[in-house]
Amino acid sequence: MTSPRSPHGLMSVMFAGLACVLFFIAAAGAPPVLLVYGFQPVAGFYPPQLWAEVAERLAERDLAEVAKVRLAPDHTLYALAAADETARPVYISDYAIAYEPTVRDLRFYATRLSDELAWIVEAEGTARVDLVAFSMGALVARCYVEAGDFAVALGEPDFADYGTTYRDDVGTLITISAPHHGARFAALGPWFGPLPRQLDPKSPFLALLNEGEHEETSTALHPDIRYVSLAGQSCLGFGCSVRPDVDACRRECVEEALNWSGHDLVVLMSSARLAGAENVACIGFDHVNMRTDPALVDEIARILDGDAAPEAIYATPELEAAGR
């Protein structure tokens, strides 16, 4: 056994002490954030660019400084270090297989997300990571944190056993324009694999993922995770700017959004609403600018800092006035 008084022993003690210091520094600061993209129909996309506004706001660094981390020969992850102690380490998921669109089993992608989280936890010396997931990516995230929902169906068609187990390593999950209750992608056809079947609002996949959500005490969500769901209502469909009754049109748009019956041109607000979560109606935002608009990016940062999520966010003062 090496003596603690020997040079090697002293070195071991010093490294152990340094590791402890780094761990407590990481634990004391804000947890790292992993950004999870949604459906990408074209191969060869660059994940960091999809999250430029959010990543730069949280890390307080330019996206040009992002670094690629290789987890496996076929799996990379992107890292943007925090600029200082007031910022957050930001990681950008790359759960898809290189050079192919995101058309595989969502639960398969969840296993790759699990690997990314394991690496971040180890690298940062932290117990938990916050997740911000866009559109279909929110279902990938939920397939990991709620992996136990599928235990009864493992081995059945479309329910391969990937051995995924949630490791209690997620603190907050913010979902943006997420089709929690499905979306109509049937037109994609069977050549897109199981994805259209999983996204069908009546799919067994979604039934298991959301089972128990309407009970008095929801059992659909993991009890130790803070869930926040941002849902968009695009007022473009009303064409308020070209209607003579502009004010009435805006009131109609806002009323529909506050009743959760609108949409962001891609996902219905009713599909994005998650029982048991903090649900936010984002009024005047379409599907794409839900993850790029400065007002929403700032709100995401505040929520991650622990602020309560507002009931509604308005894209313009005119829409906010219509909601009064």
Which pairing describes strands 75-80 and 90-92: parallel, antiparallel, or unpaired?
A: antiparallel
Domain ranges for the chain = 24-322
pLDDT at residue 239, rounded to an integer: 61
Q: Is 135 left (phi over 0), alpha (psi -120 to 50) or beta?
A: left
Say if residues 170 and 223 touch (Cβ distance below 8 Å). Answer: no
Please state which CATH number belongs to domain 24-322. Answer: 3.40.50.1820
pLDDT at residue 236, rounded to an integer: 64
pTM, rounded to two decimals: 0.88
pLDDT at residue 184, rounded to an integer: 72
Terminal-to-terminal C-alpha distance of the chain: 74
pLDDT at residue 246, rounded to an integer: 79
Six token digits for residue 324? 């009064």
pLDDT at residue 2, rounded to an integer: 43
What's the helix, strand, coil split of the chain in %, to 5? 40, 15, 45
Query: Given the structure tokens 């993922």, which residue do they identify?
Result: 209
Say if residues 57 and 305 touch (Cβ distance below 8 Å). Answer: no
Per run of 10 residues, the mean pLDDT along the chain (length 324 residues) is 42 37 46 96 92 98 97 97 95 94 94 98 97 98 97 94 97 98 66 81 95 74 96 75 76 92 94 96 95 96 97 92 82
